[in-house]
Copies of this chain bind each other. A is one copy, B any other.
Amino acid sequence: VERATSMKGVQPVLANILIESINNSTLKFTATDLDLTVVAKIDAQVKEEGKITLPAKKLSDIVSKVSEGLVEFKTDDEENKMNIKCKNAKFEILSIPAEQFPQVSEEENLETVEIDIKPFNKAVKQASFAAASYETNNILAGVVCKIENSVLEMASTDGNRLARVREKIENNVEIEQLVIPSKTLQEFSKMSSFIDEETVKISFEKSKLYLKTEKITLISRLMEGNYPKYNQLIPTESPKEAIVSVQQLISSLERVAIMVNEKTSNVKFMFTEDKLTLSADTPDSGASEDSFDIDYKGEDLLIAFNYKYVLDSLRNLETSEVKIGLNSALSATVLRPNNEEDYICLIMPLHIQN
């Protein structure tokens, strides 16, 4: 749960973890930055009921430095101090009373959709990187998530690029479009792959989302507002198509990027018959160029991209070849795994610099 703590210090208690006994064999850990809340339960021998908050950083330092074995937590009601003991090592940490921790409401009686965690996390990885960076009121910082006809669809766009993934799922469930902060999805993905769980239960109310596995619960706000109709932005056909080795394109981009203008990240792509030539230049520093064989039969085309967007897409493809769908130097360009239709990235070109 440490990842949900907030160190910004407006409320010192948000840097702490709330620890509560919920019965004589379970402890509940809660952390929140007010946008995202994470709850985890662990087995414990509870000798006496109680709750307290402790600094997350100190607690995780202790856990990483003590040797294997039982850790004993013991508190003295009057002093607001927690005594932690593991073999010969003893710690005394100042706590903040549980009453100062924000109220976390767990969901009740909400409809729940349960799906496999594997396609869910794969979709998160492939769709969430294209979202805008997080700002509370920007709906483009969210990732669209919906389930229809046994297909989970996730998509995001920051206006310059777009990623959309569709994953078949087994259950016959439906979710109308939700817009989930990308941070929530990425944190969930990290935590759930770490604890190795099978399914996730999704439930939501007006502006709140619950992602629940056997051991953890994430509670997040949902983004509100109208998300752009992104499916309309994806071209149905590309007049020109190139098949390119993903690894070769990544290496070549990294090479050429040595001389890229850091203000624009502009790399020029020159497609000619069965050949791709990349080039970049920065005034007062120099220029670079590289070329390699591809499969391309269309007309010659010169087009420029922010090379970082291209790298982001390539690194999420999970295939050895990418199919690049081109139209003109000003049209949205489509990248997708060769021989696969479920995943698509769209990148808007930059203006060619002279």
Contacts and interface: CB of A to CB of B under 8 A. Distances in A.
Nearest to A81: B286
A58 B90 CA distance: 51
A93 B292 contact: no
Contact of A289 (B66, B89, B255, B285): B89
A252 B91 CA distance: 13
A288 interface: yes
A61 interface: yes
Nearest to A89: B290
Interface string A102-146: 000000000000000000000000000000000000000000000
Contacts of A8: none
B58 A285 contact: yes
A290 B92 contact: no
A255 B285 contact: no
Interface string A284-325: 111111111000000000000000000000000000000000
A70 B255 CA distance: 16
- Assembly of this chain: how many copies? 2
Nearest to A258: B61
Contacts of A292: 88
Interface string A193-229: 0000000000000000000000000000000000000
B290 A88 contact: yes
B286 A65 contact: no
A255 B291 CA distance: 54
Contacts of A90: 288-290
A259 B61 CA distance: 10
B255 A66 contact: yes
A254 B88 contact: no
Which 7 A-B pairs have CB atoms at the shortest separation, nearest pair first? A93-B286, A89-B290, A65-B255, A92-B287, A61-B258, A90-B289, A92-B286
19 contacts: A55-B285, A62-B255, A62-B258, A65-B258, A66-B255, A89-B252, A89-B255, A90-B289, A90-B290, A91-B286, A91-B288, A91-B289, A92-B259, A92-B286, A92-B287, A92-B288, A93-B259, A93-B285, A93-B286
Given A62-B255, A89-B252, 16 more contacts: A58-B285, A62-B258, A65-B251, A65-B255, A88-B290, A89-B255, A89-B288, A89-B289, A89-B290, A91-B259, A91-B287, A91-B289, A92-B259, A92-B288, A93-B285, A94-B284
Interface of A: 55, 58, 61-62, 65-67, 81, 88-94, 251-252, 254-256, 258-259, 284-292
